[in-house]
Amino acid sequence: MTVLDTTIDLDAVTRALRVRLRDDQVRDSLTMCNLYRRDASNMTGRAGIVCFAESTEDVQACVQVAADMGVPFMARGSGTGLAGGAVPPPDAIVISTTKMNKILSVDEVNRIAWVEPGVLNLDLSKQIADLGVHFAPDPSSQQTCSIGGNVANNSGGPHCLADGVTNAHIHGVEVVLPDGSISILGGEEPEPDGLDLRGVFVGSEGMFGVATKICVRLMQNPPDVATMLMDFESVAEGANLVSDIIASGIVPAAVEMMDQLCLIAVEEFIHAGLPVEKAAALLIEVVGPSAGVAADVERICQLASERGVGAIRVAADDAERALLWKGRKSAFGAIANIMPNYYLHDTVVPRHKLAEVLDQIYEIVSRHNLQVLNVFHAGDGNLHPLILFDGSVEGVFERVHAAGREIVKASVNAGGVLSGEHGIGLEKRDLMPLMFTETDLSAQADLRRAFDPQLISNPDKVLPNPATCGEIHSAPEGAWI
């Protein structure tokens, strides 16, 4: 049987799972399967059975049943992924890690902790706060997303500019491989001997097995912090300042941009006195010893004045800083104030091309008679255009998807990449040939087969279908548009 067979005997699979797990851990009702048929993207799949694992052994039992019966399986954290990574393949066993939510150990001396994959990102930092340390990757979804999902998607966040994305904060991962065996990739040392299989696993989007324990790096909380909100008459001025700051040798902890529509939506939500009449605002944070922070603030303000900055607001205290960050991190939710639906893209462009590509995005979206709101990790050149629409309008989805594809193409043409942090998943799988040659895709497919010869671990994600079958056909330039 292969993963493409539609003849999976789900009753037999359920019986086999119930031999290894308690009945209440194995759920196959239509209601349950429907609840797990999608993530936070706009795509849906079809779960066959949902299993609630409570331990590595539970995950191993699920994977062994899947491997023995040739059934696809998929790990699922919190389901906040935006690229369809946790959309189940037809009749898959969905292995939920939400009940594997314990911090197993904290080593204060070596600044590491072992955690289960279902631990929520923000819960980890909250629970270790009294030690003066934190887990640096901070996706805007950090209240709800899991560390396992962060590892699988190599997630980023506003404060990953200086500290690096998830890959820089994972020392080791215990994994149930797709054949049901258990292996530890990496370890507690930052640079263990041998091949960096840990590095291969981080960002593998669930294709190489299930992470069951994760050794994370803990970062010292900075002694001082300054958070600035700067507004601009044009998006280009703000975007160009981002490059100026990095070129000056300062790497802030975070540099985020919100355009006018975003400022309007967020202000209605948080009432923080945001500059809603301006074209854009940058939220910039610098951290470190007080003297260094003061010097960085002064230099950044000087650079900003050369770019025609309007008002500069420096958060007076922790409460004001928290309010500004609340605005940034709740931007997606605030969109409900403007339009019922949005479609979010995640691309990266070289930082110095931000202004140019943003111009193209506004042009593309208005040509399709739609609205766009931009809120993004400007320091990383990581764009997040949110195309706004009303799903009840006939034909609107076609226009939204057409505009989205043009935006992705404009980003890649500017020397950028398909995804900065949300992953490829299902959403961008068929766009991979835009960036990768046949040889690249073939090498990636070989690596996938080395971990998963049966192709049962989250199949049909990331690599275009022909790649997974060994017959790769790169699309000619623009053929997918």
Ligand X SMILES: Cc1cc2nc3c(=O)[nH]c(=O)nc-3n(C[C@H](O)[C@H](O)[C@H](O)COP(=O)(O)OP(=O)(O)OC[C@H]3O[C@@H](n4cnc5c(N)ncnc54)[C@H](O)[C@@H]3O)c2cc1C
Sites of contact with ligand X (CB under 6 A) = 39-40, 74-82, 85-86, 97, 117, 139-141, 145-146, 148-150, 152-153, 155-157, 205-206, 210-211, 332, 421-422, 458
Q: Which is nearer to ligand X, 170 or 361 (CB)?
A: 170
Q: Which is nearer to ligand X, 293 or 388 (CB)?
A: 388
Shortest CB 417 distance to ligand X, Å = 14
Nearest residue (CB) to ligand X, 102 versus 299: 102
Q: What is the DSSP letter of 425?
A: T
DSSP string across 176-241: E-TTS-EEEEE-SSSS-SS--HHHHHTT-TTTT-EEEEEEEE-EEPPSEEEEEEEEESSHHHHHHH
Least Å distance between CB 165 and ligand X? 7
When computed from its CA atoms, the radius of gyration of the chain, rounded to whole angstroms, is 23
Instruction: Work out how close the CB of 461 gets to ligand X at its nearest, in angstroms, rounded to a whole number.
Output: 6
In the complex, least distance from residue 156 CB atom to ligand X, rounded to whole angstroms: 4
Closer to ligand X by CB, 148 or 186: give it. Answer: 148
- For the CB of residue 145, give the shortest distance to ligand X in the complex, in Å: 4
Taking the complex as a whole, the smallest distance from the CB of residue 427 to ligand X amounts, in Å, to: 11
User: Judged by CB, which is closer to ligand X: 93, or 228?
Assistant: 93
Both tokens assigned to 279: 């074209």
Tokens 């609630």 belong to: 52
Q: Tokens representing 455?
A: 């192709």
Residue of 343, 406, 344, 419 whose CA lies nearest to 380: 419
Contacts of 450 (CB under 8 A, 6+ apart): none
Nearer to ligand X, 14 or 204 (CB): 204
Closest separation in Å from C-beta 96 to ligand X: 8
Least distance in angstroms from the C-beta of 299 to ligand X: 27
- Sign of the alpha-carbon torsion through 185, 190, 195, 201: positive
Closer by beta carbon to ligand X, 269 or else 332: 332
* Plot region of 91 (φ>0 → left; ψ -120 to 50 → alpha; else → beta): left
- C-beta nearest to ligand X: residue: 149
Other CB atoms closer than 10 Å to residue 291's CB: what's the count? 9
382-419 core/surface letters (b: 16 or more CB in 10 A; e: else): bbbbbbbbeeeeeebeebbeebbbbbbbbbbebebbbb
Question: Which residue number, 304 or 431, has a Cβ lying nearer to ligand X?
Answer: 431
* DSSP helix/strand/coil, 142: coil
For residue 441, the one-letter residue type is: L
